[in-house]
Amino acid sequence: MLPIVEDLVERREVAWIVACLAIDDLLQPPTPPQMGPGWGHRALLRAIKLVAKETPMPELAQPHHNSFCVRFAQEPLPGQPLVLTKEDRKNFPQKLKCIQSIIGAYGPLVSLPYVRGGMLVLDILRASDDLAQISPEQILEDLRRTHDEIQRNAHSSDPKPHTVAVTSYNLLPILHALKNGFTDANNPPVLSIDGSNHLLPIPTAADFTEPSPEDLHQKTGEFRIVGLRRDDANGHRLLITRDDLIVHCPLNDPKWAWAAIRDVLNCDAWLRGTIQRPGRGSPWRVCAETAIILQPSLPGVA
C-alpha cells in the first residue's frame, strides 16, 4: 500500500483513499467491449470530482521524497476542496499520459501514482538491484540531454532519425507527452529532488523534426569519393564521405566498368547525382543520371 494511502487510512479519509487507488486501476483497466477509449480517464476524473466537491484535501505530512509531480489542477487552500475547471478536465487525459510514459520508461524504479493536492505524483524508488539504481539527478540529466539532442538534430542541416540521433531513445515518449500536455507555462511538471523542484523540459513540435522516409532512402548532391573496391562478379563499390556510405555500381554497365572508374583515387573525384536504396538495410546504388566528376589535383598539392 502506498505510504500516502496508509496515512489516509489512519486518519479515516475514506473518500481520498478511493481517489488515490483509482489511479492504480486506471493504469491497467479492464477492457469491456462496451467501453471505448478514454473511459478510464473519465472514470478517474469523476472519482476525483466527487471527492473534491464534498471533501477538503487533508493536510498530509510531505517528507522530501524524490518525485515526479504533474499538476492537473490548482493547489487548493488548506482545508478547502479541490476545484477542477473545464480546462483541467479537458487536459487531464494528456497529463495522465505523461504519468504513464514515465512509468513505461522507468518501470519498477517509480512508485504507483497517487494524488497529492492538485498533482499526480510518482515517487522514485530504491531499486532491488544496486546495478539498476539510477539517481533522480541522473534522471533529470538524461531527460534534459535527450531534449538537447532532438533540438540539435532538428536544427541540423542533415537531421538523422531519432534512433541514431538520441542516446536514450526510451525517453522520447516522455518528451512527446510533455510536448502535448503542458503548453501552460504556469503549471510545468517538475522533478522534486530533496525538496527542490526542477522543471522538466517542454519540447515543441519543431524539436521532433526527423528526415522523411524518402530522405532515408534517397540522397542527392555531390559526394567526395574516398575509396574504391573492385568486384567483377557483383559490381564495383565506391566509398563516399557522407556517413562513409558504400555505394554499389551497376554490373555490366560500361559507364561503371573497372577501366572507367579505376582512376578515381588518383585525383579529386566526386559522385554527382542521386543514390537510392529500397529500404533500410539495403545497399545504396547509383541512379541512371549519376556520374563521377574528376578534378585533377594541382601539382605539388596532395
Per-residue pLDDT reduced to its tens digit, 243-291: 678 999 998 888 999 999 988 888 888 998 888 887 767 888 998 889 9
CB atoms within 10 A of CB 101: 20
Determine the distance from the C-alpha atom of residue 148 to the mean position of all C-alpha atoms in its chain, rounded to a whole number.
12
| Portions of the chain given CATH number 2.40.50.140 | 216-295
User: For residue 242, what pLDDT is reported?
Assistant: 61
C-alpha cell, 156:
541540423
Average pLDDT over residues 125-150: 84
pLDDT at residue 59 tops 90: no
**16 vs 14: CA distance, rounded Å:** 6
Q: Is the pLDDT of residue 11 over 70?
A: no
Residues with Cβ within 8 Å of 82's Cβ and at least 6 positions away in sequence, in order, are: 48, 51, 52, 57, 73, 76, 117, 118
- The pLDDT of residue 20: 54
In the CATH scheme, what is the code of domain 216-295? 2.40.50.140
At residue 76, the pLDDT reads 77
Q: Is pLDDT larger for residue 281 or for residue 17? A: 281
Band of residue 198 on the pLDDT scale cut at 50, 70, 90? very high
Average pLDDT over residues 87-95: 84
Calculate the CA 41 to chain-centre distance: 23
- Whether 163 and 169 have beta carbons less than 8 Å apart is answered as yes
How far is residue 116's CA from residue 120's CA, in Å, rounded to a whole number? 6
Please check the confidence at residue 116 and state whether its pLDDT lies above 90: no
- Count of other CB atoms within 10 angstroms of residue 130: 7
DSSP secondary structure letter of residue 4: H
The 10s digit of each residue's pLDDT in 155-171 is: 887 778 888 889 998 99
Has residue 137 got a pLDDT over 90?
yes
Average pLDDT for the chain: 76
CB crowding 267-281: b at 16 or more within 10 Å, else e: eebbbebebbbeeee
**pTM of this prediction?**
0.60
Provide the pLDDT for residue 8: 46
